[in-house]
C-alpha cells in the first residue's frame, strides 16, 4: 500500500517533470505562447488541491495569493491602469487619473521597467467606490487575463516581447508605425506589459514547492481531488441546466 508521503512525492514529482519537459521543448509554432499555455495549465491543475469548488478565476488568483510566494502579486500595474483611465471622463476617477498620469509620464522611454515602478492599491489615491475596479489591475488578476488570452486565443495580450533573459515581470516601450508615402511613420508609442517564460517558470516551481509543503504539513493526499473514471460525464453534469 502506498503511503501518504509517497503519494505526495509522486504527485509533485510528476508536475516538476512536466515543468522541466515544457522548458526543454522547442515548439516550432510560437514557442512563447505554447510554453505559457502549458505552464499556466500546471497552476490551474494543482490549484484544485485547495480550491476545488471555486470558479476558475478564484482558484487561479487565490492560489497565487497563498502559494506562489510572488512578492509583487498585489502591485497595481500603473501602465495598464493608465490606458484604462486615459479616455475615462467619469468624475469619480478624476483623482486617480491625475495621479496615474503623472506617474506614467515618469517612465523613461527606451528602458525596461520592473515591478518596483508600480505601487500597491493603498498608495494610489482613489474613491472607495472604484476600489474593486482598480484591484482588477493587480499583477495577479492581470496574469489570469494573460492565462485566458494564451489558452483561449492562442496569443499573449498586448504587443509585448519576451526577450528571453529576464526573470521578472517587466514593461518595454514599443513604437507603432504606419506606411505613408512609401515611408514608415511613427504613429504612437506604447508601454507593453510582459510575463516572460522565465518568470512563469519560477512561479510554477515555487508554487509546486509551497503546495507540497502544505500537503505534507496538513496530511493532504492530492490525488483525492482528481478522478479518472471511464465515463466522461457525471450524473450532475448531464442533468444540470445548460446556459445558452
Sequence spans of domains, the chain: 1-71+198-244, 75-137+157-194
Residue pair 189/174 in contact by the 8 Å Cβ criterion: yes
User: What pLDDT sits at residue 106?
Assistant: 85
User: What pLDDT sits at residue 6?
Assistant: 97
Grid cell listed for 120: 500597491
User: What pLDDT sits at residue 243?
Assistant: 64
User: What pLDDT sits at residue 244?
Assistant: 56
Please state the pTM of the whole predicted model.
0.92
User: What pLDDT sits at residue 242?
Assistant: 73
What's the alpha-carbon Rg for the chain, to the nearest Å? 21
pLDDT digits (tens, 9 = 90+) for 66-112: 999 999 999 999 999 999 999 999 999 999 999 999 999 888 877 89
pLDDT digits (tens, 9 = 90+) for 136-185: 999 999 999 999 999 999 999 999 999 999 999 999 998 888 888 888 87
Amino acid at each position: 500500500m502506498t503511503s501518504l508521503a509517497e503519494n505526495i512525492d509522486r504527485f509533485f514529482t510528476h508536475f516538476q517533470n512536466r515543468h522541466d519537459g515544457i522548458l526543454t521543448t522547442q515548439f516550432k509554432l510560437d514557442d512563447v505562447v505554447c510554453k505559457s499555455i502549458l505552464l499556466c495549465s500546471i497552476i490551474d491543475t494543482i490549484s484544485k488541491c485547495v480550491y476545488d469548488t471555486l470558479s476558475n478565476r478564484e482558484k487561479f488568483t487565490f492560489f497565487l495569493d497563498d502559494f506562489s510566494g510572488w512578492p509583487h502579486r498585489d502591485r497595481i500595474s500603473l501602465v495598464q491602469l493608465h490606458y484604462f483611465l486615459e479616455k475615462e471622463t467619469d468624475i469619480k476617477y478624476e483623482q486617480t487619473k491625475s495621479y496615474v498620469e503623472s506617474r506614467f509620464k515618469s517612465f523613461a522611454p527606451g528602458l525596461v521597467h520592473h515591478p518596483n515602478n508600480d505601487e500597491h492599491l493603498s498608495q494610489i489615491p482613489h474613491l472607495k467606490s472604484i476600489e474593486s475596479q482598480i484591484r482588477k489591475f493587480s499583477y495577479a488578476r492581470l496574469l489570469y487575463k494573460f492565462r485566458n488570452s494564451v489558452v483561449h486565443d492562442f496569443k499573449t495580450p498586448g504587443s509585448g516581447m519576451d526577450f528571453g533573459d529576464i526573470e521578472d515581470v517587466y514593461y518595454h516601450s514599443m513604437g507603432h508605425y504606419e506606411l505613408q508615402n512609401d515611408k514608415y511613420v511613427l504613429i504612437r508609442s506604447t508601454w507593453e506589459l510582459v510575463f516572460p517564460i522565465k518568470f512563469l517558470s519560477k512561479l510554477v516551481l515555487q508554487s509546486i514547492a509551497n503546495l507540497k509543503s502544505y500537503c505534507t504539513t496538513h496530511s493532504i493526499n492530492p490525488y483525492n481531488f482528481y478522478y479518472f473514471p471511464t465515463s466522461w460525464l457525471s450524473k450532475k453534469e448531464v442533468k444540470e441546466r445548460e446556459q445558452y
